[in-house]
Amino acid sequence: MNPDIVFSNAVLLTPEEMGQADRLTISGGVPGIELMERAGQAVARAAAKMVPAAARISILCGPGNNGGDGFIAARCLTAAGHTVQIHLLKASETLNGDALEAFVRMGLPHTVVPDGDGIAVSLAGELERADLIIDALFGAGLDRPLAGPGLALVKAVNRSGRRVLAVDLPSGVNGATGADPGAAVRADATVTFFRRKPGHLLNPGRTLCGSVTVADIGIKAGVLEKIGPSVFHNIPELWLGDWPRPDPLGHKYTRGHAVVFGGPMSATGAARLSAGAALRAGAGLVTLASPPDAMMVNACHLTAVMLKKVPGAEAMEELLADRRFNTVLIGPGYGVGEETRAAVAAILKQKRATVLDADALTSFPNHAQELFTLIGDNPAPVLLTPHDGEFARLFPDIEGDKLVRARRAAERSGAVVVLKGPDTVIAAPDGRAAINDNAPPFLATAGSGDVLAGISAGLLAQGVPGFEAACQAVWLHGEAGREAGPGLIAEDLAPALKAAIRALVDKTAGG
């Protein structure tokens, strides 16, 4: 990975790391109120784009600095000619620091939400009449589920059916995990500061944020060197430096040779989907290794993908004695059980870049440590690509939010773990992780995972390092899904991949 990535827009900061960025900036001579001014002004600019002239805007301000941003926005929007109603969750006497300063600078009338589990009918009515509600209740400082008047207010916002702009995070969403224990605001848009947070990308946080914009509030990227971020947004900026650009003087043998092990006659399609995707992803050659009974059906369906009869684990070892097969994928449609475990062991002993998917994962629930030992002994990258169900079977004791689970699993297994879903997390054993957000919902269809495993193998075959190959594959898979569009089936993905790669290469002049 390019070391400059830690300064890039791909960086995600936990609320703690964001606090560190804040403190480093303040100790570097920028007063906190200046950061808050810029934050509040950015919120006001975003709000102005969401409403007509002279709009009615209700601003809900919490007891901390998130509320402080709301006071600044209130002042700016009033100056711009909007009618602004300000509601404090707690009496202004409880404010301190920059939030108090922002409140004083605002100098506008306000009300305080009365204590209790409900809110006044008049406030509910006002929210329902607003052109926009600005949610400045809680941001990075939320440290427990909402309750009492805060919870009542959030429910009233969601009931109002009005457009909502969230400051930093929709109140109730945990910035580190995206969790919303209890309840959270459902926003149409969110303005955050300096860098995105994991909670903007992990569900349910992502869906509660609406569209997210990142405002520059004067924190310099240089502070990131001290913070040492390790979690990233899976965007091309993260891995373009490792994108496999074909050598103009090269040939197909210099672009790698992936071998995909296929299943019995009744389940051959999955491995063919994988093999086709590996070829599309740029592997110079792809061989489908087929059991004898499935040769005929595979032969009927393959053209550019080559076919080889491989009757069992011993034949696999013989095949892989040829070092030109530099990457192996096993799992899609392979079958679950002892034979699969033996095959995976035979493959991992050959020390090739390896993708283990589907049945190759499901065969190991009671033999997980055996698998991790084999992975540990293989110096080449190994990718595990479980969905939640496969993950739970392989790592039954690992709990927590998706980011934590994927990172623990990667550390334990020694593999790059791709924990799949609408917010796929890719985690490396060295602690790096990336969160993906470009997959359309219609990508959740039979065979889609086989294609993803194939793209991963195709990139590994070209020598892309494990973490970057997984990140590229997940991103391309999402782009291919968007390209294929609603109604897609897995067969559509390999052709759509061509357009997705073309767009990436054109945009970046990546060759």
Ligand X SMILES: NC(=O)C1=CN([C@@H]2O[C@H](COP(=O)(O)OP(=O)(O)OC[C@H]3O[C@@H](n4cnc5c(N)ncnc54)[C@H](OP(=O)(O)O)[C@@H]3O)[C@@H](O)[C@H]2O)[C@@H](O)CC1
Closest CB 363 distance from ligand X, rounded Å: 44
Distance CA 443, CA 489 (A): 8
Q: Which residues fall within 8 angstroms of residue 133, CB to CB, at 6 or more apart? A: 57, 58, 59, 60, 127, 157, 160, 162, 163, 164, 165
Residues 6 or more apart whose CB falls under 8 angstroms from that of 429 comprise 410, 411, 413, 414, 415, 416
DSSP annotation of 120: -
Match 């005929």 to its residue by tokens: 296
Using the contact rule CB under 5 A, the part of the chain among 77-85, 148-156, 160-168, 482-490 near K ion is 160-168
256 is in an annotated binding site: no
Q: Which stretch binds ligand X (CB under 6 A): 60-68, 113-121, 303-311, 464-472?
A: 60-68
Q: How far is the CB of 156 from K ion (least distance, A)?
A: 15
Q: In whole angstroms, what is the distance from residue 4 CA to residue 9 CA?
A: 11
Q: How far is CA 120 from CA 70, 85, 114, 194, 206, in A?
A: 21, 15, 8, 36, 30
Beta-strand runs (E) in 410-455: 416-419, 425-427, 433-435
- Shortest distance, CB of residue 164 to ligand X, whole angstroms? 15
- Does the footprint of ligand X cover residue 39 (CB under 6 A)? yes
424 annotated as ligand-binding: yes
Residue with Cβ nearer K ion (94 or 508): 94
Q: Taking CB under 6 A as the rule, does residue 22 contact ligand X?
A: yes
CB atoms within 10 A of CB 230: 17
501 makes contact, choosing from ligand X, K ion, none, with CB < 5 to 8 Å by partner type, with none
Decide if 36 contacts 98 (C-beta within 8 A): yes
Picked from ligand X, K ion, none, the partner binding residue 462 (CB below 5 to 8 A depending on kind) is: none
Would residue 116 be called left, alpha or beta, if left means φ above 0 and alpha means ψ between -120 and 50 degrees? left
Q: Phi and psi for 247 in degrees, rounded to 5?
A: -70, 125
CB 47 within 8 A of CB 59: no
Task: Compute the least distance from the CB of residue 137 to ligand X, in Å.
Answer: 8
Q: Tell me the closest approach of the beta carbon of residue 139 to K ion, in angstroms.
A: 5
- Measured from the CB of residue 219, what is the shortest distance to ligand X in angstroms? 6
The least CB distance from residue 70 to K ion, in Å, is 8
Rule CB under 6 A: which of 63-102 touch ligand X?
Answer: 63-69
- Residue 425 CB, shortest distance to ligand X, in Å, is 23
Answer with the entry of ligand X, K ion, none that 135 interacts with (C-beta below 5 to 8 A by kind). Answer: K ion
Binding status of residue 37 toward ligand X by CB under 6 A:
no
420 is in an annotated binding site: yes
Choices 32-40, 228-236, 289-297, 360-368 (CB under 6 A): range interacting with ligand X: 32-40
Per-residue contact string for residues 181-200; x = within reach of ligand X by CB under 6 A: ------------x-------
8 A C-beta contact, residue 291 and residue 264: yes
The answer to whether residue 209 forms part of the interface with ligand X (CB under 6 A) is no
The CB-of-392 to K ion minimum distance in angstroms stands at 33
85: three-class secondary structure by DSSP: strand
Terminal Cα distance for the chain, rounded: 19
Q: Is 132 helix (H, G, I), strand (E, B) or coil?
A: strand
**Helix or strand or coil: residue 330?**
strand
- Interaction of residue 298 with K ion, rule CB under 5 A: no
3-class SS of residue 286: strand
Place of tokens 């995972």: 449
* Spatial distance between the Cα atoms of 451 and 274, rounded to a whole number of angstroms: 5
171 binds, among K ion, ligand X, none (CB under 5 to 8 A by kind): K ion
Q: Please, what is the Cα angle at 433 between 432 and 435, to 5 degrees?
A: 160
Count CB neighbours of 282 within 10 A: 20
Who contacts 311 (Cβ-Cβ below 8 Å, separation ≥6)? 291, 292
Residue of 179, 235, 225 lying closest to 478 (CA atoms): 235
Q: Is 135 annotated as a binding residue?
A: yes
Binding to ligand X by CB under 6 A, coded x per residue (else -) over 216-235, reads -x------------------
Residue 93: Cβ-neighbour burial (10 angstroms; 0-12, 13-18, 19+): exposed
Query: Does the footprint of K ion cover residue 167 (CB under 5 A)?
Result: yes
Tell me which stretch binds K ion (CB under 5 A): 163-171, 211-219, 250-258, 451-459.
163-171
User: Which of 141, 204, 440, 463 lies at the binding interface for ligand X (CB under 6 A)?
Assistant: 141
Query: Residue 143 annotated as binding?
Result: yes
Any contact of residue 171 with K ion (CB under 5 A)? yes
* CB nearer ligand X, residue 39 or residue 453: 39
Beta carbon nearer to K ion, 57 or 353: 57
Options 44-52, 57-65, 247-255, 453-461: segment touching ligand X (CB under 6 A):
57-65
- For the bound state, the minimum distance from the C-beta of residue 396 to ligand X, rounded and expressed in Å, comes to 31
- Residues belonging to the binding site for (6S)-NADPHX are 65-69, 139-145, 168, 270, 333, 387, 450
- Residues belonging to the binding site are 65-69, 135, 139-145, 168, 171, 270, 333, 387, 420-424, 449-450
Binding residues (CB under 5 A) for K ion: these are 135, 139, 166-167, 171
Binding residues (CB under 6 A) for ligand X: these are 18-19, 21-22, 35-36, 39, 62-69, 138-144, 146, 150, 167-168, 193, 217
- Residues belonging to the binding site for K(+) are 66, 135, 171
